[in-house]
């Protein structure tokens, strides 16, 4: 009998730990002083749910700031490049800050036109973009041939140049000496803009303490079954489906609160519990 009692106690302790580990928490919620103010929520239970276990907690809220570093990246400034010769064109787009791309055009000897623009760039960044260009006139064997340009000597990176938003830059490159194709490398030297960390409040942590003041009440409804909280704990046995939760204050006092809930089967093991939906916030 002693061994059986010990096993039963261990089973109950394990079950309690299992339930608490799977209870979902609403985080901090606030009810205003407006007369008739009520917060509505929807909780959906699935699987082999037998009943919804609901606990309401009031007061005891402590909030602390936290630095969020995982912010969305700032959209970059970009350069677009088009290389043209008569009716032949080749293009590359969206060369982001701190990157480079190459564009090539097989047009033989003669004059090529290199055009750079900033279409699609991040216009909130007002500073001009900086870049450099390097070109090579190549024969069929990919050996450098002769050429001249408004940019720089053949095969050498140009000095850093600038281009303001909504502006276009054009350059002429002339290839000679049995040229088969022209290859141009564009490096966007604009500094990469990193987002600044922002301090925002984390969801307050609410200690699991019973409602002591009695200023808030919660009602859980499913079908024709509606139950009010007794103290801070409520079980409503209505199986799978949507449960409506209504939180209000009889004395119209502004209160911060939270709640925890679990969809449980007949053995008090966790069934499928979905995150709550906030339907009305007052």
Strand partners, 233: 55, 230
Burial label for 269, CB within 10 Å (0-12, 13-18, 19+), is middle
Q: Tell me, what's the pLDDT at 273?
A: 86
pLDDT of residue 80: 94
**Averages of pLDDT over each 10 residues, the chain, 282 residues:** 45 41 79 82 91 81 44 75 94 90 96 93 85 95 90 84 92 94 94 65 39 67 78 81 86 78 88 89 80
User: According to DSSP H, which parts of the chain are helical?
Assistant: 2-22
Contact 251, 13 (CB under 8 A): no
Domains of the chain and any CATH numbers: 23-65+200-280 (2.60.120.380), 78-188 (2.60.40)
Q: What is the pLDDT of residue 204?
A: 44
Q: What is the pLDDT of residue 166?
A: 86
Write down the pLDDT at residue 214. 60
């Amino acid at each position: 009998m002693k061994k059986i009692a010990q096993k039963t106690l261990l089973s109950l302790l394990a079950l309690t730990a299992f339930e608490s580990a799977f209870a979902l928490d609403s985080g901090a919620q606030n009810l205003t002083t407006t007369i008739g103010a009520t917060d509505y929520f929807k909780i959906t239970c699935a699987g082999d749910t037998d009943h919804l276990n609901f606990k309401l907690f009031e007061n005891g809220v402590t909030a602390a700031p936290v630095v969020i570093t995982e912010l969305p990246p700032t959209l970059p400034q970009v350069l677009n490049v088009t290389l043209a010769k008569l009716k032949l064109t080749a293009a590359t787009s969206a060369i982001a800050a701190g990157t480079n791309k190459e564009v090539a055009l097989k047009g033989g000897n003669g004059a090529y036109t290199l055009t750079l623009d900033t279409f699609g760039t991040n216009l909130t960044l007002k500073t001009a973009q900086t870049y450099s260009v390097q070109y090579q006139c190549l024969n069929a064997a990919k050996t450098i041939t002769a050429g001249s340009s408004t940019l720089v000597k053949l095969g050498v990176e140009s000095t850093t140049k600038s281009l303001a938003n909504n502006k276009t830059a054009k350059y002429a490159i002339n290839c000679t000496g049995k040229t088969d194709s022209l290859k141009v490398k564009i490096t966007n030297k604009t500094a990469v803009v990193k987002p600044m960390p922002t301090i925002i409040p984390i969801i307050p942590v609410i200690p699991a303490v019973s409602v002591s003041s009695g200023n808030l009440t919660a009602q859980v409804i499913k079908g024709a079954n509606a139950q009010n909280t007794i103290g801070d704990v409520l079980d409503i046995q209505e199986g799978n489906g949507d449960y409506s939760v209504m939180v209000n204050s009889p004395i119209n006092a502004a209160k911060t609160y939270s709640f925890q809930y679990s969809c449980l089967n007949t053995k008090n093991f966790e069934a499928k519990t979905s995150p709550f939906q906030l339907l009305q916030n007052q």
